[in-house]
Structure 1
């Protein structure tokens, strides 16, 4: 798909060069326009009028490029290819003899429908073809306040290099995208502006649905979202009213919406997950009696007919028009597919569970039935490996001080005696000097919230987990500290558990690991996934659309990395992170989930999202003085799959961004003089991330180095970082015994009634610690939906459209980038096959593929592949 060309109609264009006759006062420029008829609401574009602007000759009356006479889209040729129905129109533009070179086109839709303009091209003398990759909706000019749509050619210019004939058009187009910050946005409004997260609550439903506004305060800072402008709720003037819709038509600017194909797939995937939920929820009570009931949730073969009460329940969950459009495409399987943590290698990912034997879960005897690695998740080594190669691999860090300390100076209860016997003969001091003790810290940020969290059948600790880096680079858990608030003025209540392999101590140790996994899962969802990718990127998208012209080369560079993100975020605000939404149902943080996220945004720094900086901050890498090392760091140990693969991807992206920027910016002064880039960066700092405006760590944007580092970091977040924390969710979180998001019981203390209950039946006690059945199933269902790629995904190293300016140079640089990603794929495969790199697969036999680019696969694909780095945060 790299540098995909638009061949439709190209041969006819080559035969229709500009013509004129001695009797004519005009030349004729011929072209073609391609419209996609993508859904029932879209039109063919017929009767739309179109004109072209010159980019070389100025009309002295308007100060803009000379304008052709009006042409109309008539008698188009329609065809269907690869499921896409397109109509191609041949047009003739009458222009003055000295019209010059076309640089923009303006189109007016007189009808009340909309159409999707995919591509346009015109041919001038010497058979030169001017291309316009449009990919945008065109609405009725009556709805857009009589504004016509303008599209610029694929030639890109820095502001100072813009042809005089296009200068006014460039500024007018940017102005139209900014709007005036008022009014409710309608479907056809192509306007980008900012707002606080004031739309998460629904106080009109009752006071229990009131949620604080995030952003705009020191107490609850947050990135900005795209403004929708809905009126305030009746019960709270600070809260925006909820949209009056149950479908996916929540407002985002038209160019940010899911394609009809993706929308259909997303709905189908969601309905499939809803079916799983409804089927499994209806089987048995909400209280789990055995682990067999959990295993029975997974299968791949049993089919289902949607009828009766199930059909009615499903209809009640989704709008009727969506139900009709998508249920025919659903794979009507009865249960969830087997998560990879049970199935092992991806080749067995969807292995049938029909041959699974009923097993008795036990803490004292490990009996492996089916599959071979069914209990691998329970192993201490796998517990540590998932911190390096699981779905949340960027939280673990080197321990700097022993015993660990809180920010307020409070010292942990973990003692040398707890861990020294497990350090392979080293003292604690020696292990610290050799960077051999690591920590997974979920303590400081949780402690202030625990009193509010531990109500309503929720029992959560703040945890610290210490691990020892063994000589083979695997991690050995050393101790887990479990902390609770004391009396209002008292100290913390701390408890330390250490590994054990038999008897009661082994069961209690497993319980402690489960509590750590719960902490890590909620941090992953709210911070590593939602905040650090989805939420922080949205202001960059808005600022790019508002401040960087479509003619700007940096806009072209970034555009693929913004695909579908605003729509995905809007859906999250509607269904996932809102009051009563899915996160509040399944996460232990419930109604304070987003406040917890805002608390952790206080720690966020854009410069530390650069992978090398992040690894250095966490002590997982050291500075490397080698000037030939492009990252400037060396990993603490090479068998850190996320770090090792991530640095390869980072280096490739940085090289591509550097090559690109060097073609457009001759020196540092050219960055400083780029008024659009300067306005873009200022708006990101002062508005989009306005609660961070006074921080000193922002890049100053005075040099090419600043620009390259900012762009590399942004592309890294939107592509590889998001892929690493998103597409493994079902593989790891889909099995509740491996990672769940809520605990309902504390670990029992000797001498209590709970301890006697635990001794009587450790398995039952553990089952009662897990979420209830309905929440467990809902968690599995959402993990399944979020882990799926859609078939129209565009992956890192792939592009939809070329550049006209410097096209040959850009093409060569991009092919170099693509080639390096293919080399990285081969190296990842080799590392996964290397038996010495134990963390690449672990005892669960799960090859680390979450940072495998999959660039070489250019065919459409979808589903839970467990690999591939999409260009953008697209789900």
Structure 2
């Protein structure tokens, strides 16, 4: 459900980047002796060098907010780190979880580590630890990779397009179907989902801090130049540049469905945009002289992203290649990125005992007054830690609505406005080729889902990865890539 947080582990133990004078020591409680038994005879350093260790690291994202989150009467949380080892079968196996609290908290030790179980007690501690990781992950999925990176950060480009580009402008025509319904959806989201006391604050562990978490990540981490799929994979250490590979990247986890399927779609979008830009803007001076195009990009950054407008990483709108990168990234975010994080929410996330959006209790320790209660009835303690049923029924119904395709959805490769290029047969041909490429990609994904060697998407009890299949019927289908952020 959230394929966008996993990173290759580069340093062990992990180190925080938070200010130690405010948040305490930057050191991790993770130790080599806690995980070495899972490394098939390798040392931790050897495993890192051989790209065998990966991490979900939510420590710095959530720790600054935990005092306020844990003051809530029914929501308790940690800032978690989870270490995974890449098995010989190509899947990730969790081998240690670090649970961190603020240094001066009163709820227990500031850092503790749980590892895979060796007896009944550690089995239940491991289950509780994993539930807290899933709670952290659910928040990151919704607040960062979904809301922030698609809905919120695309909005300035859409507003500026409507303000600065004529409807006859070639870039407006290209982007038109990728802006469909997004402003309306965002307005409704702010009224019903993101508002104070709304669905996000009620059903996620971040509670009243939800939008602050999202804003903090935007300020400290988000970069438009890192939002392309190849750049994102390289940034997270999930791939390295390799000119001999089909997409110029070598994946460090070969069976990584989001990346392998996503790269097919990314390349197809990029090829379409290359043909389009080279047709209308074959030379840099044509871009420089297009006042509407420059006004659109200037407003998108300097007004729409005003807080970070001076960042040095913004691409300059000065060459055809830069324009191709900008447009390809926008189309990718509006279509495939959003589809990957949106339309699996109900199919993958409805069963809240496996993926709770918040927890009501912390993991007990031996000094905790509730520890005897936990030992006497660990299953009851675990169930009492989960959200209550009436809250989750409402939450599940929202996931169902948000995961639903409308009957009038328009999918990637299925444009209804080809008549807009009636005088440009080269563009019509490029759009037709793109449509055919989407059908080809759909067949390739279905083929992969039937390959027993790809154990992360095929096998007993394993769901086929269909979120990036380009087409879909209406309803909750767990597949389909709409042109735009339309729900």
Map of 1:552 onto structure 2: 169
For residues 589 and 518 of structure 1, the distance between their equivalents in structure 2, rounded to whole angstroms, comes to 10
2:251 matched to 1:635? yes
**Whole-angstrom CA distance in 1 between matches of 2:109 and 2:185:** 40
Higher normalized contact order (CA 8 Å, seq sep 6+, divided by chain length): 2
Q: Deviation of residue 676 (structure 1)?
A: 1.0
What is the deviation of 1:752?
3.6
Q: Deviations over 1:383-405 (max 9, x none)?
A: xxxxxxxx110100001101111
CA 1:739–1:548 in 2, change beyond 3 Å: closer, same or farther?
same
Distance (whole Å) between structure 1 residues aligned to residue 88 and residue 105 of structure 2: 44
Q: Distance in 1 between matches of 2:149 and 2:240?
A: 23
Residue 864 (structure 1) aligned with residue 476 (structure 2): yes
Which string of whole-angstrom CA distances, capped at 9 and with x for unpartnered residues, describes residues 430-466 of structure 1? 1010111000011112111100000212210110000
Residue 421 of structure 2 contacts residue 428 of structure 2 at CA under 8 Å; is this kept in 1? no
Q: Distance in 2 between matches of 1:488 and 1:511?
A: 20
Aligned residues: 477
5 Å-filtered alignment, 1:393-408, equals 393-408=3-18
The aligned counterpart of 2:341 is 725
Q: Give the deviation of 1:589 after TM superposition.
A: 1.4
Aligned to 2:201: 584
Shift in alpha-carbon separation, 1:797–1:725, aligned structure 2, 3 A: same
SS of equivalent to 1:430:
helix
Cα offset for 1:477?
Answer: 0.9
Pick from 448, 467, 471: which aligns with 2:88?
Answer: 471
Corresponding residue for residue 765 of structure 1 = 381
CA distance in 2 between counterparts of 1:810 and 1:676 reads 21
SS of the residue corresponding to residue 61 of structure 2 reads coil
CA distance in 1, matches of 2:421, 2:241: 40
Shift of 1:508: 0.8
Quote how far apart the aligned CAs of 1:868 are: 0.4
**What is residue 226 of structure 2 aligned with on the other side?**
608
Structure 1 residue 814 corresponds to structure 2 residue 431 = yes
Aligned with residue 645 of structure 1, among 254, 258, 261: 261
CA drift of 1:684 comes to: 0.8
In structure 1, the partner of 2:21 is none
The structure with more strand, counted as a fraction of residues: 1
SS of 2:421's partner is coil
| Distance (Å, rounded) in 2 between the aligned partners of 1:573 and 1:488 | 33
Report matched runs for 1:263-274 at 5 Å. Answer: none
TM-score by length of 2: 0.95
Match of 1:566 among 156, 159, 183: 183
Q: Of 66, 71, 91, which aligns to 1:450?
A: 66
8 Å contact kept, 1:464–1:481: yes
**1:409-439 deviations in whole A, cap 9, x for unaligned?**
7121110000011011211111010111000
- Whole-angstrom CA distance in 2 between matches of 1:451 and 1:666: 55
Structure 1 runs not aligned, ≥5 long:
1-390
Alignment match of 1:617 (pick from 212, 216, 235): 235
Match of 1:30 in 2: none
Aligned match of 1:746: 362
- Looking at structure 2, the residues matched to 804 and 401 of structure 1 have their Cα atoms a distance apart, in angstroms, of 52
Which stretch shows the higher mean deviation, 696-705 or 840-849?
A: 840-849
Pair 1:806–1:487, CA change in 2 (3 A): same
Give the equivalent residue in structure 1 for 2:320. Answer: 704
Once the 2 structures are TM-superposed, how far is the Cα of residue 643 of structure 1 from its aligned partner? 0.7
- Give the deviation of 1:828 after TM superposition: 0.7
Q: 1:770 to 1:831 in 2, by over 3 A?
A: same
Specify which of 125, 145, 157 is matched with residue 540 of structure 1: 157
Partner residue of 1:154? none
How far did 1:805 drift?
4.7
* 1:793 Cα deviation from its structure 2 partner: 0.2
Could you say which residue in structure 1 is the equivalent of 2:308? 692
**Residues of 2 paired with 1:460 and 1:651: CA distance?**
40
Superposed CA offset, 1:608-660 (max 9, x none):
1100000000000001133x84x432111220001111111100000011111
The structure with the largest helix share of the pair is: 2
Ranges in structure 2 where 5+ consecutive residues have no aligned partner = 19-24
Alignment root-mean-square deviation, CA: 1.6
Do the aligned partners of 2:58 and 2:80 also contact (CA within 8 Å) in 1?
yes
SS at match of 2:313: coil
- Alpha-carbon distance between aligned partners in 2 of 1:545 and 1:822, rounded to the nearest angstrom: 31
For the 8 Å contact 2:182–2:484, the answer to whether it is kept is yes
8 Å Cα contact 1:485/1:492 also seen in 2? no
Whether the 8 Å CA contact 2:456–2:462 is kept in 1: the answer is: no
Residue by residue over 1:678-727, the C-alpha shift from the partner in whole angstroms, topping out at 9 and shown as x without a partner, is 11111111001111110011110100001000000000000000000000
Offset at 1:753? 3.2
Contact in 1 for aligned 2:67/2:105 (Cα 8 Å): no
Q: Distance in 2 between matches of 1:464 and 1:684?
A: 35
Partner of 2:78: 461
Aligned equivalents of 2:230, 2:164: Cα separation in 1: 29
Contact 1:611 1:647 in 2 (8 A): yes
